Amino acid sequence: MSIKVFFSDVHLSDTTTGDHNITAGTLEGFWSDIQGDVDNAGGTKKLEIIILGDFIDVIRSTQWTGDMQPWSEASKKKKERVDEVLSKVIKKNKSVFDTLKGYVEEKKVKITYIMGNHDRLINSEGYEDMREKIRDVSGISYTKSKGEPFPWEYRVDGLPVYAVHGNNYDVYNKTENNALPVGDAIVTLLINQYPEEVNKVIDDPDVFDALQEIDNLRPSTMTPYWIDQVKKSLKPKNQKILIDTWNILSDKFFHDAFVKEWLQKHDYWSLLPDDADKLEIAFKHFTDTTLERVYEKFLEIKRDFIKDTDKNALEALKLCEQHQCDYVLFGHTHESCVQLLNVEDGKEKYYVNTGTWRRRIVPGGYKKKQIVFGQQESIDYVIFKIDDQSNEVQGFQLWNGTSNRGELFYKKEE
């Protein structure tokens, strides 16, 4: 028997947008959890770890400024910018990369790295040296030649499992067919810049830290309501600064040529808000809403988020049929889940989401006309037990560890 473990959305960053990185201790806890299954399968040589995208995050960095953006045309300067961010990510997370390399060199574990939307630039043409740098520090092997691109999907002949990051089923983060995701612009023009711009005027570490937590909001369309929560703790003068700063950045965002082009492509006639309308509702028209309307919008966003989960399951069912498999895995949403899709000839077919290894700021609103936020830190992973002779899945487990304290997962080394 062999073991395959999937996880995703670790989002190792250069910390310029906040230090939300895991530590080597996080990996040690993970290894302790899977040790029994690995031993029962015959040892570490029987283990493959599949990182299902957004492991290295080269988008969440304040180094993306002005005309140099992730969607800019290929150039020497753009490559240098990606390399700068990547080098700092590696430096800031040295202990994590060292631990992974130890898995490969000492324990003989195979590690496969699938691309997502926040690490996809690493796979750009001409970036062979960066990919080799990642392999060198992490121990991740190549299949054919040095510098080759990392795969976009995980498939093994005869194995009834298909895994992909899942961003191509999110209209704001699609990258298939060389599409450029507007999600990049949301991150670099709004979420990355907002805390920095406010900090220039309001010199308050607590406000700065709170605004950097926007990076962890799920769903990100809750950003205006998080800002509203931060605003309530400030004096009227500083409340106005928060609103004015957001409006300035929002205005620049919606007038950016790349964003305008995306909006035009996704603006269509409908009785209901289209994808372009939803983007404007979420990030533009929030400062003049009444508490009543804010709550109603929250309920709408919540319903859309639930619909997105169902939509992913429907896409997974299509992929089951397309790839003749029984299990489809996505990451991307930062919400782990298991959904039964179908049963054919006694075989159950599942959609599984691998969740995240990140802190999440999550909204709640079960008390009428009131939105509240809580912090949760998660370690999610999926274990598949595979029969070596038949390649059949003997069983799978989705493990979710969630803490509202954080000391279990993110304690920094002294």
Q: Do residues 38 and 3 lie in contact, with contact meaning Cβ atoms separated by under 8 Å?
A: yes
350 lies in a domain?
yes
352 lies in a domain?
yes
- My answer on whether 167 and 76 are in the same domain is yes
Q: Do residues 52 and 329 lie in contact, with contact meaning Cβ atoms separated by under 8 Å?
A: yes
Task: Give the C-alpha separation, 288 to 292, whole Å.
Answer: 12
Say if residue 293's pLDDT is above 90: no
Task: Give the C-alpha separation, 135 to 128, whole Å.
Answer: 11
Question: CB under 8 Å to 334, separation ≥6 — which residues?
Answer: 9, 218, 355, 356, 358, 360, 378
Higher-confidence position of 305 and 75: 75
- My answer on whether 124 and 187 are in the same domain is no
410 lies in a domain?
no
Single out the residue in 250, 269, 301 at which a domain terminates: 301
Task: Give the C-alpha separation, 221 to 298, whole Å.
Answer: 9
Over residues 263-289, the mean pLDDT reads: 80
Question: CB under 8 Å to 125, separation ≥6 — which residues?
Answer: 74
Q: How confident is the model at residue 330 (pLDDT cuts 50, 70, 90)?
A: very high
What is the predicted pLDDT for the residue at 265? 94
What is the predicted pLDDT for the residue at 238? 95
72 lies in a domain?
yes
Over residues 59-71, the mean pLDDT reads: 97
- My answer on whether 197 and 344 are in the same domain is no
Higher-confidence position of 409 and 174: 174
- My answer on whether 170 and 34 are in the same domain is yes
- My answer on whether 175 and 220 are in the same domain is no
Say if residue 387's pLDDT is above 90: yes
- My answer on whether 117 and 198 are in the same domain is no
Joined together, the tokens standing for residue 246 give 């957001």
Say if residue 252's pLDDT is above 70: yes
283 lies in a domain?
yes
What is the predicted pLDDT for the residue at 319? 97
158 lies in a domain?
yes
Say if residue 288's pLDDT is above 60: no
408 lies in a domain?
no
- My answer on whether 86 and 104 are in the same domain is yes
Single out the residue in 301, 323, 343 at which a domain terminates: 301
Single out the residue in 284, 301, 318 at which a domain terminates: 301
- Only one residue has tokens 């990606």, namely 82
Q: How confident is the model at residue 285 (pLDDT cuts 50, 70, 90)?
A: low
- My answer on whether 91 and 230 are in the same domain is no
Helix/strand/coil (H/E/C) assignment for every residue in 95-163:
HHHHHHHHHHHCCCCEEEEECCCCCHHHHCCCCHHHHHHHHHHHCCCCCCCCCCCCCCEECCCCCCEEE
Q: How confident is the model at residue 257 (pLDDT cuts 50, 70, 90)?
A: very high
Say if residue 296's pLDDT is above 80: no
The dihedral through the CA atoms of 244, 299, 361, 94 has a sign that is negative
Q: Which amino acid is at 89?
A: V
Indicate the angle between helix axes 94-105 and 24-41, nearest 10 degrees. 20
- My answer on whether 189 and 86 are in the same domain is no
Joined together, the tokens standing for residue 241 give 């600064």
What is the predicted pLDDT for the residue at 269? 86
pLDDT tens by residue, 178-221: 899 999 999 999 999 999 999 999 999 999 999 999 989 887 77
pLDDT tens by residue, 131-177: 999 999 999 977 778 889 999 999 999 999 999 999 999 999 999 98
268 lies in a domain?
yes
Over residues 370-389, the mean pLDDT reads: 91
Task: Give the C-alpha separation, 33 to 15, whole Å.
Answer: 28
Q: How confident is the model at residue 294 (pLDDT cuts 50, 70, 90)?
A: low
Say if residue 280's pLDDT is above 90: no
Joined together, the tokens standing for residue 265 give 């492509």
Say if residue 235's pLDDT is above 70: yes
What is the predicted pLDDT for the residue at 120? 97
What is the predicted pLDDT for the residue at 367? 64
Considering only 9-23, 33-47, 271-285, 325-339, which range has the smallest mean pLDDT?
271-285
- My answer on whether 309 and 297 are in the same domain is no
Q: Do residues 273 and 233 lie in contact, with contact meaning Cβ atoms separated by under 8 Å?
A: no
Sequential DSSP letters for 271-312: SS--HHHHHHHHHTS-TT--HHHHHHHHHHHHHHHHHHHHHH
Sequential DSSP letters for 312-332: HHHHHHHHHHHHT-SEEEE-S
Task: Give the C-alpha separation, 210 to 279, whole Å.
Answer: 23
0.85 exceeded by pTM: yes
Q: Structural domain of residue 134, as residue ranges? A: 2-179+305-362+372-403
* Mean pLDDT of the residues in the chain: 90
| Consecutive H or E run containing 90 | helix 76-92
The number of distinct structural domains making up the chain is: 2
- My answer on whether 141 and 109 are in the same domain is yes
Higher-confidence position of 402 and 71: 71
- My answer on whether 267 and 383 are in the same domain is no
pLDDT tens by residue, 172-189: 999 998 899 999 999 999
Question: What's the CATH number where 376 sits?
Answer: 3.60.21.10
Considering only 194-198, 275-279, 354-358, which range has the smallest mean pLDDT?
275-279
Q: Hey, which bits of 129-276 come out as E strands?
A: 153-154, 161-164
